[in-house]
Amino acid sequence: MNADQLTQFVEQVHGLWETHVPAQYQVSVVPVAVGLLLLGIGLSVLGAKLARAGITCGLGVAGALLALALAPLIDVPTIVVVLIGTFVAGGMGYGLFRLWVGLAVAACFSAVAIGAYGSRAVVPHFTEYQSVQDFDGTFTLPEAPQTSDSESARDALADIRVWADDFWLYVQSQQVDVNRRILLVGVGSALLGLLLGALLPRLTLIVTTSVVGTMMVMSGLAGLAARFQADFSQAVGQHERVVATAGIVFLLASLLLQTLLTRKVPVPAPVRPQPGK
């Protein structure tokens, strides 16, 4: 799947989203793109360095929220339950850091592998499926309701789910073993990520956060460019190598920077005075 096909697919999905998804469920492109851009830069620079603190704080907050929900069921002051939940969950995040890194890397590896496989095995059928629909008059998506009525919105979303199921049935008719292959790709890449994350947490954190951060930055820039430049897809097709080179340069810079920021600085041994001096 080349850049032109990917750009065409993204434009088709975006058009379907704007045409058929109810307005109350749509999100403006600009805030999402800016959020992806800022979060991607932060992840590319400080993702590996702040991973342990982030996991510890995140699990601590989750533990506090869970304790707050369970507090009315326990005959103990709420503040005590919340403190216990925070420290227990935060301690699990700090002490089991390698396990959490392995699980996070496994999820990232699985998502990237399934996405890469889907771009080659599923996305090319999207245009074919639309052509089949236009030819034989099978189920097509209705226009999104113009009103904000919740019942109309639910009906529209139900139609979208029916359309998605019908599209997947078409993909299965073209590739009988697509479900098995996706399962194998997802599980295999997840197990590999879990193993690498548990055994080599620093290296896998640097690589994973750099790759994911670069993808978020490129997606954010693409979203902003597509929003403010009408012929963005044509420009990408004409400068495919430039875009790829920019992404590779940003990725390499992220890898180098995070490697430098996470290296352990050797502590000089104390100088002991020699006898007689």
**pLDDT tens, residue by residue, 9-24:** 566 666 666 666 666 5
SS3 breakdown of the chain: % helix, strand, coil, rounded to 5? 80, 0, 20
Please tell me the predicted confidence (pLDDT) of residue 78. Answer: 87
Say whether pLDDT at 134 is over 60. no
Token pair belonging to 134: 């236009």
Query: With 60 as the cut, is the pLDDT of residue 243 above it?
Result: yes
> With contact defined as beta carbons under 8 Å apart, do 235 and 229 qualify?
yes
pLDDT given for residue 139 in this prediction:
45
Q: What does the pLDDT average to over 230-256?
A: 78
Cα–Cα distance measured from residue 14 to residue 147, given in angstroms and rounded to the nearest whole number: 21
Is the Cβ–Cβ distance between 255 and 207 less than 8 Å? yes
pLDDT digits (tens, 9 = 90+) for 148-191: 556 666 666 677 777 778 888 888 888 888 889 999 999 999 99
The rounded Cα 204 to chain-centroid distance in angstroms is 16
Token pair of 187 as six digits: 């599980």
Count of all residues that appear for the chain in the document: 277
Task: Give the range with max mean pLDDT: 12-26, 111-125, 263-277.
Answer: 111-125
